[in-house]
Amino acid sequence: MEHIDIGYTAKLARLELSKDEQELYSAQLGRILEYFHVLSSVDTSGVEPTAHANPLHNVLREDVAVPGFGAGPALANAPQQREDQVLVPRVIE
Amino acid sequence: MNQDSLAYLPASKLARLLASGELTSVELSRSVLERAEHLNAQVNAFLGWDGEDLMAQAEASDKRRKADKALGFFDGIPVALKNNIAVKGSLLTCGSRMLENFVSPYDATVVERMKAAGMLVWGRLNMDEFAMGSSTETSYFGSTANPWDLTRTPGGSSGGSAAALAAGMSPITLGSDTGGSIRQPAAFCGIYGLKPTYGRVSRYGLVAFASSLDQIGPFGHCVEDVARMMEVLCGVDPKDSSSYPAPVSPFHAELELALTGGRPMVLGLPVEYFKEDGLDPAVRRAMDEVVAYYKGIGWQIKDVSLPNSHLAVPTYYVIATAEASSNLARFDGIRYTHRSESASDAVDVYFKSRGEGFGEEVKRRIILGTFVLSSGYHDAYYLKAQLVRTLIRNDFSKAFGEVDLVLTPTTPSPAFVRGERITDPLQMYLNDIYTICPNLTGLPAISVPCGFASQNLPVGFQLIAPHFEEVRLLTAARAYEKGNDWHTRHPAL
């Protein structure tokens, strides 16, 4: 059975998990990966990957500036703000 | 007319009553509000609405119509939206604590298009958190009930949209579909639900779950409602580089034309789908009757093979969770989301805010998606799934060389009981077996009501068409609708 290092993966995802959550996910995701395992036996030699189902590539437009939100509407949902900027806890001591 | 006599009328019928002057948008909107106020405590389809705003929009619509300046066929018709579609000035929670207080600063493109058509955009519909789920049970704001049986789920993730429509609480609703999130709840609730071709409808203002799979689409009481709603929604959008410049046709007129003048169609039954042990006998019986009906009107039914169909669920869940883990990285506690109050420093804000803000299923998928993208596993899982995605696409290309449309059940079983599957994620994922291929391949698909299992539970079938062949899809759905009246039955509420 494939093993997910839940602690390491959660760290990559910047996601705090409780001990109970880690145990729950560890068991469940092990079973789900086992189910995914069927993919590994499929012969895909000479096959190109599909990233999306759309025939479009490199959609370009004229590089013209258009009006956007001002600071007010853009910051209206910020948990904390000051002087038209998002306020966060101190990063550098 | 009172609220109950209007409740189940199709939107196109209501639009004709508005046009003839037999009904005003104010009367219609008042009845919609009264019914929602009366029923929502039982069904919990709506997370909320602004009644004053709806009535103000209705008055403006009536004024336009009086001045002979109606903006379109659906001017004055209320349309309620799944709460992952942005409406300026309205809460956009995605069923998550993470966005509990988030007010959208802009309108989604589909909202702009509906407003330009005179439609009354109102009501925030419940959904699985960030559209991750098949039962509307992962919502932070409580689960939604199936109007046909309140102990059962309406399906998901657009369960609120399906339940509101099926309960007669809004004549048209919108949902989003990443792996069946429109079609599965439509089948569970006995109504129509359409997932357009990938790129047909702009995703601008739809909160992203899995960007290569997501599409917005309508729920309706009849084929005409769905066809006409597609005319409002479709079109290329410079704000969504994946939207495709396909010509938008008057679907509702074209399908009638195709029905009267067209040749009988050839429908393909995937042999693999009917071998499944998991197919409920009631669904199998309903499918037999659908096949018999189409044969009866002179259409041809042909077996087709989709040899890679057993790989669809694992392929889908690798790709969908990978894309979700990337998309949901934006919810970081810094700029516009829930921010933990117990974080010790700036980096801890990420960990704690995300840990507190996301629910169990969303966290599970973020972990899974992060894992399949992580160094050492990327090729074995994510790249492999993209390769198999090509094989699945090739299966359908080959099938469409032989048949006009593919015909399948929408779901393996009718609506299941609330709480029954929520503790077993793998069993929940397997419920999507018939609906995920159109997302992986970008093909358009519709769920059509086709009868009832025991206990009065609706059953639906699915039609899948080649890319941008929505008219073909709607024509076949309409051909069925003409000889069957399942869509006219409604739950006793």
Residue A53 pLDDT class (50, 70, 90 cuts): confident
d(CA B158, CA B125): 8
- Range among A62-66, A87-91, B189-193 rated most confident: B189-193
Contacting A residues, span 29-88, partner chain B, CB-CB under 8 Å: 29, 31-32, 35-36, 38-40, 42, 44, 47-56, 59, 61, 69, 73-74, 76-80, 86, 88
Quick one: pLDDT at residue A3? 79
* B368·A29 Cβ contact <8 A: yes
Q: What chain A residue is nearest to B244 in terms of C-alpha separation? A: A56
DSSP three-state, residue B267: strand
Quick one: pLDDT at residue A90? 84
For residue B388, give Cα distances in angstroms to A55, B323, B385, B394, B395: 18, 16, 5, 10, 11
The single-letter code of the amino acid at B19 is A
Using a CB-CB cut-off of 8 Å, the residues of chain B touching A47 are 387, 390-391
For residue B204, give Cα distances in angstroms to A13, B170, B201: 25, 24, 9
Using a CB-CB cut-off of 8 Å, the residues of chain A touching B355 are 15-18
- Right CATH number for B3-245 from 3.90.1300.10, 3.40.190.10, 3.30.200.20, 3.40.50.300? 3.90.1300.10
Q: Give the pLDDT means over successive 10-residue stretches in chain B (493 positions).
A: 77 98 98 97 98 98 98 98 98 98 97 98 98 97 98 98 98 98 98 97 97 97 97 94 87 89 92 84 96 97 96 96 98 96 93 98 97 94 97 98 98 95 86 94 98 94 97 96 94 91
- The sign of the dihedral angle between the CA atoms of B237, B238, B243, B245 is positive
Q: Are B139 and B95 in contact (CB under 8 A)?
A: yes
Quick one: pLDDT at residue B276? 64
Task: Point out the residues of B that are catalytic.
Answer: 82, 157, 181
Nearest by CB to A9, from B333, B356, B374: name it.
B374
Using a CB-CB cut-off of 8 Å, the residues of chain B touching A53 are 198, 212, 393, 440-443, 467
Is the ipTM reported for this complex over the cut 0.90? yes
d(CA B163, CA B448): 16
Q: Are B259 and B478 in contact (CB under 8 A)?
A: yes
For residue B149, give Cα distances in angstroms to A67, B69, B400, B421: 49, 43, 38, 17
Concatenated DSSP letters of B31-51: HHHHHHHHHHHHH--EEE--H
d(CA B5, CA B88): 32
* B241·A56 Cβ contact <8 A: yes
Provide the token pair at B161: 């949209």
d(CA B194, CA B175): 9
Query: Which residue of B96, B313, B367, B427 is the best one to mutate when testing the A interface, meaning the one whose CB has the most A CBs within 10 A?
Result: B367
The C-alpha of A8 sits at a distance from chain B's nearest C-alpha, in angstroms, of 9
* B354·A15 Cβ contact <8 A: yes
The C-alpha of A29 sits at a distance from chain B's nearest C-alpha, in angstroms, of 7
The C-alpha of A89 sits at a distance from chain B's nearest C-alpha, in angstroms, of 5
Using a CB-CB cut-off of 8 Å, the residues of chain B touching A25 are 363-364, 367
E strands of chain A, at which residues?
A: 81-82, 85-86
* A50·B393 Cβ contact <8 A: yes
Nearest by CB to A28, from B101, B199, B364: name it.
B364
Using a CB-CB cut-off of 8 Å, the residues of chain B touching A59 are 241-242
Using a CB-CB cut-off of 8 Å, the residues of chain B touching A28 are 364, 425-426
Quick one: pLDDT at residue B257? 87
DSSP state of B219: E
d(CA A3, CA A37): 12
* A13·B366 Cβ contact <8 A: yes
Nearest by CB to B105, from A39, A44, A69: name it.
A69
Classify residue A68 as exposed, middle or buried by CB count within 10 Å of its CB (0-12, 13-18, 19+). Answer: exposed
DSSP three-state, residue B93: coil
Strand order in the sheet with B215-220: B46-48, B120-125, B78-82, B172-177, B215-220, B192-195, B445-453, B457-464, B405-409, B266-270, B300-304
DSSP three-state, residue B275: helix
Quick one: pLDDT at residue B261? 79
